[in-house]
Amino acid sequence: MPLAPFGNAPFVNSANTQPLTEEVLCLVSEEKNDEQMHEIEIKENTIKGCQKADPSQFELLKVLGQGSFGKVFLVRKIVGNDRHQLYAMKVLKKAKLKVRDRVRTKMERNILVDVNHPFIVKVYYAFQTDGNLYMVLAYLRGGDLFTRLSKELMFTEDDVKIYLAELALALDHLHSLGIIYRDLKPENILLDVDGHIALTDFGLSKESTDGSEKAYSFCGTVEYMAPEVVNRRGHDHSADWWSFGVLMYEMLTGQLPFQGRDRKDTMTQILKAKLGMPQFLSPEAQSLLRMLFKRNPANRLGSGSDGVEEIKRHPFFSGIDWNRLLRKDIDPPFKPSASRAEDATYFDSEFTSRTPRDSPGVPASAAAQQLFRGFSFVAPIIEEDAVGTGVIGIMVLKFLLNNSPKKFYDEYDVREEIGIGSYSVCKRCIHKGTKKEYAVKIIFKNKRDCEEEVQILLRYGQHPNIITLKDVFDDGQHVFLVTELMKGGELLDKILRQKFFTEKEASAVLKTVAKVVVYLHKNGVVHRDLKPSNILYADETGNPESLRVCDFGFAKQLRHDNGLLMTPCYTANFVAPEVLKKKGYDEACDIWSLGVLLYTMLAGYTPFANGPDDTPTDILKRIETGKFNMSGGNWKSVSETAKDLVRRMLHVDPNRRLSAPQVLMHSFIARPDQLPEFHLNQSKDYKFVKGAMSAMFSAARSHKPLNLNPVGTSLLAQRRGAKKVTSTAL
């Protein structure tokens, strides 16, 4: 959890120092109007009749983060009116804090106590022992925006609009209190249980400034610094609006607007380089960015006498009801999913896997103890709902992860391998107690985050044609998903091995799968990988009712009204063209995949791969054009009804593609009695067609820019050295 003084000691630049060596900088300048390291008065603030908090009142549950000066724990309150409430508790070692870090800690404590805003993290307790300082904050279990951006690569403009609007209200509130934030970046924006933002980490903030007073610290993260911060000519609250623009640019494009070979080059670009404006951005987005990236702060949007009202009036934010937004009545773009209140899935497993321990700490010097006199604080009102513990249904609680390392192997015997993928391997297994057969999908945690897959299966696996999740285990290195065993094999195998296939049979298969898609889309879920090999028979009868949609590894919970997804994820022949163009996609990509499935059942081959020797480039080009052949071969005998449905599901324009309910209502499915009985010949060589399908998969794997990888391997993470380097080193 990115909280203030957890980083390495900030680099102080002077004439005699070495070149900059840390990404996060905070320089106390020796120039005019120096900001002195002065005492900050801290007043005692506790509820009348309420005891001060102390470490014994909190149960340590997990480590959320760790830095040079201490740790952040997930804790549960075990006494008082807020008993059982979850918090994030930040623990700092007094003896390790240098003078400037003590000042920042006190500054952060003061700001958090004074600020009360829906989009700024709340502090509930502050207390100390001889060796440690404690701040107890709201536990925001959605993690930080950096992690989500690393996974999604970029966001839609509708998503960005909500995040920026909430952030603008938070910054405006700080500015109204005379506070310059000075460290705006995705790592310092947390998401609560509902997906709303909360600004955190006030260790670099500047307090008690008025409109005429400027600050001169070289302070923040270089890539997000305003030009007036870089050239150290003095800055005020308008520097935050420049950083606001950098964040907007980064969320919309996945790139930073100014980034050089090194820090010196980056600072030169910030001062002099021309802004490269991606043309895929809307005119409104481009306009707002240009107005935020004014190098003269006096001309920057938000710096005028109207302040944030200038930004709120910009056309980019048209349609935002700012009063509803402040009341949190507008749904955020993404709602975190968690199986239980204390779930820490969205935090780095490097820390959450550690055993939580709070050591007393070496007592600090008398001078340091005097510095923190009056540090204790208890919030006047502790609201039960403010932290957002939330409750997930009984169904989810039944499948809480088992963290005992050998638990899975204690209960199951593992047998032969069934299938293997990039991130997992699937094997047959037998329960030792009941002797029943199951399948287990073993997912490598260092390669893939399967949290969303588990949650979707838990929520929606009760559908009769979705594979049933029986059990979940986690040994720290792997996640084991135990499911029903699909004894009938893959739909693709059945289609290719069957000598003849009728339209009625194809209609029955498509109806079963389409009903699943309707159910998923109704619940805001897209599968995103509906290839035939992910549709299996539960038994050997071949009855369409025994079909199960499997492998939800790429499934996603849609994000409310705009519904668009930006994570490019697909299997080559079953990916819609808008995915390749990185324009975002929604339920229409699943309809595209259904169209490919129907085409394959009717024709006996795929629409975009001619054979196993096709190159990935050729395959992907065909997909992007959306052109496919419907003449010759079986197509001479296929009904116009079937052809019409294929065309409408494979339409290159997702807006003109049928929806899942419309597919079910199409006469090809709704009136199977009117379909011809003609036997469509599946005479193509079985291995040849399987080879073509293999080429599809190979094409997908070779198209590296569109493959999903762990957060740590994303361009965003690599740009920051594979791990988040923040002012807190968390």
Taking only the tens place, the pLDDT of each residue in 181-195 is: 999 999 999 999 889
- Closest Cα to residue 569, out of 461, 450, 703, 711? 703
Distance, in Å, from the CA atom of 9 to the CA atom of 26, rounded to the nearest integer, reads 9
Catalytic residue among 82, 172, 192, 529: 529
pLDDT score of 672: 93
Residue 568 pLDDT level (bands cut at 50, 70, 90)? very low
251-265 average pLDDT score: 92
Residue 271 pLDDT level (bands cut at 50, 70, 90)? very high
141-159 average pLDDT score: 88
pLDDT score of 24: 38
Distance, in Å, from the CA atom of 126 to the CA atom of 134, rounded to the nearest integer, reads 6
Backbone angles phi, psi at 5, to 5 degrees: -90, 45
Q: Is 529 a catalytic residue?
A: yes
pLDDT at 627 over 60: yes
Q: 70 pairs with which residues across the strands?
A: 92
pLDDT score of 564: 45
Lowest mean pLDDT among 180-184, 311-315, 366-370: 366-370
Residue with tokens 């440690």: 132
Backbone angles phi, psi at 239, to 5 degrees: -65, -30
Buried b / exposed e over 662-698, threshold 16 CB at 10 Å, is ebbebebbeebeebeeeebebeeeeeebebbbebbbb
Distance, in Å, from the CA atom of 204 to the CA atom of 183, rounded to the nearest integer, reads 7
pLDDT score of 338: 59
pLDDT score of 216: 81
- Predicted confidence (pLDDT) per residue in 319-341, tens digit: 899 988 988 989 998 888 755 67
pLDDT score of 268: 94
Binding residues for ATP: 64-72, 90, 418-426, 441, 445
- Predicted confidence (pLDDT) per residue in 56-112, tens digit: 999 999 999 887 677 899 999 998 888 889 999 999 888 777 777 777 788 888 888
582-609 average pLDDT score: 79
668-689 average pLDDT score: 80
Separation in Å, CA 242 to CA 148, 228, 250, 258, 270: 22, 10, 13, 12, 11
- Closest Cα to residue 197, out of 66, 372, 326? 326
CA dihedral 669, 670, 671, 672 (to 10 degrees): 30
Provide the CA 19 distance to its chain's centre, in angstroms: 35
Catalytic residue among 183, 201, 240, 474: 183
pTM across the whole model: 0.54
Binding residues: 64-72, 90, 418-426, 441, 445
Domains delineated in the chain: 37-141+358-378 (3.30.200.20), 145-199+223-337 (1.10.510.10), 394-484 (3.30.200.20), 489-715 (1.10.510.10)
Distance, in Å, from the CA atom of 272 to the CA atom of 525, rounded to the nearest integer, reads 45
Q: Is 561 a catalytic residue?
A: no
CA dihedral 598, 604, 607, 609 (to 10 degrees): 140
Q: 72 pairs with which residues across the strands?
A: 65, 90
pLDDT score of 653: 84
Residue 563 pLDDT level (bands cut at 50, 70, 90)? very low
Query: 10 Å Cβ neighbour count for 282?
Result: 12
pLDDT score of 508: 94
Lowest mean pLDDT among 285-289, 422-426, 439-443, 445-449: 445-449
378-384 average pLDDT score: 49
Contacts of 722 by beta carbon, 8 Å cutoff, 6+ apart: 712, 713
Separation in Å, CA 657 to CA 467, 590, 592: 27, 10, 8
22-51 average pLDDT score: 40
pLDDT score of 666: 96
Strands annotated E in 80-209: 86-93, 123-128, 132-138, 189-191, 197-199
Residue 575 pLDDT level (bands cut at 50, 70, 90)? low
Lowest mean pLDDT among 379-383, 614-618, 629-633, 702-706: 702-706
Residue 646 pLDDT level (bands cut at 50, 70, 90)? very high
pLDDT at 33 over 50: no
Which helix (H) or strand (E) is 598 found in, with range?
helix 588-603
Residue 258 pLDDT level (bands cut at 50, 70, 90)? very high
pLDDT score of 375: 58
pLDDT score of 537: 93
Provide the CA 16 distance to its chain's centre, in angstroms: 43
pLDDT score of 372: 56
Distance, in Å, from the CA atom of 538 to the CA atom of 531, rounded to the nearest integer, reads 17
Query: 10 Å Cβ neighbour count for 279?
Result: 5
